[in-house]
Amino acid sequence: MHYAHVKRKENQVNRYILEEFHNDPALRRRLFGNARRERNRSVLAGLKSLRNWLAAHLAPQRDLSRWLARLG
């Protein structure tokens, strides 16, 4: 992409932090586990929101008098 589209330069990762990440398997597991839990939590919240929306918009009409009036 053309350089004019970049609004700001991204910061580089500190080399020492990156080496620590690759050299410490416990840190890597912990960070990946936390990321997985947060991702699952946000997906579950989105699915709950979708379920609530669908239940509100697709719920059957409980007002039978309107339907009986239509039938005559």
Q: Domain span at residue 7?
A: 3-59
Q: Which residues contact 61 (CB under 8 A, 6 or more apart)?
A: 67
Q: Is residue 20 part of a domain?
A: yes
Q: How far apart are CA 35 and CA 46, in angstroms?
A: 17
pLDDT at 8 over 60: yes
Give the DSSP H/E element, type plus range, for residue 59.
none
Q: Is residue 66 part of a domain?
A: no
Per residue in 25-70, pLDDT (tens digit) is 998 899 999 999 999 999 999 999 999 998 887 776 666 677 777 7
8 DSSP assignment: S
Distance of alpha carbon 69 from the chain centroid: 45
User: How confident is the model at residue 6, as a pLDDT?
Assistant: 64
Structural domain tally of the chain?
A: 1
Helix (H) and strand (E) counts for the chain? 3, 0
